[in-house]
Amino acid sequence: MTEATMHGPPGPADAFYPRPIELRGLRRGAVNVRDLGDGVEVVVVPEGDGLRVFREICPHMGGPLSQATVCEDATLACPWHGYRFSLESGRLVDNPNERIMADLRRRAPACFRPEHAPKYALTSLAYTVVGERAYVHRRRSGA
Amino acid sequence: MKHRFTVEYEIDCPVAIAVAVYLDAEHYVFLHKKYSDTYEVLSYDPATRKIFIRESWRLFGLRIGQTCMTEYVPPGEFLNYDIEPFPRWLPSIHHVMKTRTRLVYTEILERDATWSMLEIELDLPFWLWPFRAWIQKAIARLKIEKDEQDIDMIRRRAALFGRENNSIYLADHQFILHKDEYLKHFGPNSKPLTPLE
């Protein structure tokens, strides 16, 4: 019998994804990719005393956040378009292309309306730590 | 002495997606950062759809690269020419070899896929002529490698949002090159951008 089945999740089993995150072995300042079961992959970034757990899919174009970079300004940069999301809130805080493409964007046709941009945010998942494991809730966190 | 060759294959996506990915300049220095980490627009003429660009990368502490004229011929044709080394004093094959490329995307109706045909014309001095096969191989390899990165992106997006879903490229807020022309030829006919659970 494994420790997980000995202790189990901290509540109804169906409230959590089947596979908890083992806290040991998580690398700080880096993206840790974990499979929670049920076809759900997350990226885990240890921050301060806690974790940031996000779905592995970039909300902009679906990029693989498993290949994202944790930046010094506490953001996560998507590998496809470089969009940067706050680790704290999950929200998009910087699109570097606004600078790279500044001239083209300024002279773009009228069909480009950046003011209509949605408020992109990573899908953040709540978790509960039991011993050396974090059990991830199926409901989203408030972040 | 002119050496011409083509690199062609099928890309498993609708033409609307293949063209959108090409015009989606926001991914150039991120997805393809292995090849070039800086993209600068030196001049832009909306009327002729010509953009003069500089792509560069760091090598031994120096920033080196190339400038190039790019031109979009709607709906699915892309030209690159006037390629020069950057900085100009950089010893480079582009001082002696003139390169012109024409990429054409055409629809494969029976599979709703894209035929990608890249025509390359190299104008070589006589002393580079014996190396033309090697140069051809290097150019073809580069083209295939970059396309493989794009194809991985296309496949992932197709799995998440649907094969024909180009709605993000059509969205008001999304910047892509020559968007008015893209909309004219490929939009708006997409499905909502909702990931499949």
Q: What percent of chain B has pLDDT over 70?
A: 95
Distance from the Cα of A5 to chain B's closest Cα (Å) equals 27
User: Distance between CA B107 and CA A70 in Å, rounded?
Assistant: 40
Contacts of A116 in chain B (CB under 8 A): 171-173
The answer to whether A110 contacts B195, with C-beta atoms less than 8 Å apart, is no
Helical H segments across A15-101, by residue range: 97-100
Q: Is B140 helix (H, G, I), strand (E, B) or coil?
A: helix
User: Tens digit of pLDDT per residue, chain A (143 long)?
Assistant: 344 445 677 777 788 999 999 999 999 999 999 999 999 999 999 988 899 999 999 999 999 999 999 999 999 999 999 999 999 999 999 999 999 999 899 988 888 898 888 899 999 999 999 999 999 999 766 55
All domains in chain A, ordered by first residue: 17-128 (2.102.10.10)
Q: Which of residues 150-179 of B touch A (CB under 8 A)?
A: 153, 156-157, 160-161, 168, 171-175, 177, 179
- For an interface test with B, which of A38, A55, A99, A111 has the most B Cβ atoms less than 10 Å from its Cβ? A111
Chain B residues inside the 8 Å CB shell of A105 = 175
CB contact (8 A) between residue B26 and residue A64? no
Q: Do the chains contact at A107 and B44, CB–CB below 8 Å?
A: yes
Q: CA B107, CA B76: separation in Å to the nearest integer?
A: 9
Q: In sequence order, which ranges of B24-178 are alpha helices (DSSP H)?
A: 28-31, 132-161, 167-170
The per-residue pLDDT for range B28-61, each reduced to its tens digit, is 999 999 999 999 999 999 999 999 999 999 988 8
Q: How far, in Å, CA of B170 to CA of B168, rounded? A: 5
Tell me what pLDDT residue B191 has: 46
Element (H, E) at A44: strand A40-47
pTM of the model: 0.90
Q: Which residues of A touch B46 (CB under 8 A)?
A: 107, 109
CA–CA separation, B20 vs B75, rounded Å?
10
The strands making up B98-108's β-sheet, listed across from edge to edge, are B2-11, B113-123, B98-108, B77-86, B62-73, B50-59, B38-45
Contacts of A64 in chain B (CB under 8 A): 156
pLDDT of residue A6: 52
Flag if A78 and B44 touch (Cβ within 8 Å). no
Predicted confidence (pLDDT) at residue B188 exceeds the cutoff of 60: yes
Secondary structure class of B94 (helix, strand, coil): helix
How far is residue B30's CA from residue A95's CA, in Å, rounded to a whole number? Answer: 12
For chain B, the structural domain boundaries read 2-186
pLDDT of residue A4: 44
Q: Is A105 an interface residue toward B (CB < 8 Å)?
A: yes
Instruction: For residue A59, count other CB atoms closer than 10 A to its CB.
Output: 23
pLDDT of residue A108: 87
Check: CB of residue A75 under 8 Å from CB of residue A90: no
| Confidence (pLDDT) at B4 | 97
A111 vs B39, B177, B180: nearest CB: B180
Q: How far is A91 from chain B (nearest CA, A)?
A: 17
Whole-number pLDDT of residue B60 = 87
Q: How confident is the model at residue B128 (pLDDT cuts 50, 70, 90)?
A: very high
CATH class belonging to B2-186: alpha beta
Query: For residue A8, what pLDDT is reported?
Result: 75
Q: Average the pLDDT over B108-113 and give the result.
A: 92
pLDDT higher than threshold 50 for residue B194: no
CA distance B10 to chain A (A): 23
* A81 touching chain B per CB within 8 A: yes
Res. B91 pLDDT band, cuts 50 70 90? confident
Contact A80 B31 (CB under 8 A): yes
Closest by Cα among B52, B58, B24, B27 to B40: B52
Q: Would you state the pLDDT for residue A141?
A: 67
Which residues, 6 or more positions from A70, have their beta carbon under 8 angstroms from its beta carbon?
Answer: A29, A30, A31, A45, A76, A87
On whether any CB of chain A is under 8 Å from the CB of B42, the answer is no
Q: How close, in Å, is residue A57 to chain B by CA atoms?
A: 9
**Complex ipTM:** 0.89
Contact B173 A100 (CB under 8 A): no
How much is the average pLDDT of B123-149?
96
Instruction: pLDDT band for B197, please (50, 70, 90 cuts).
Output: very low
* Cα gap A77→B89, rounded to integer Å: 35
Task: Give me chain B's average pLDDT, please.
Answer: 92
Q: pLDDT over 90 for what percent of chain B?
A: 85
User: Can you tell me the distance from the alpha carbon of A26 to that of A134, in angstroms, rounded to the nearest whole number?
Assistant: 11
State residue A133's pLDDT score: 94
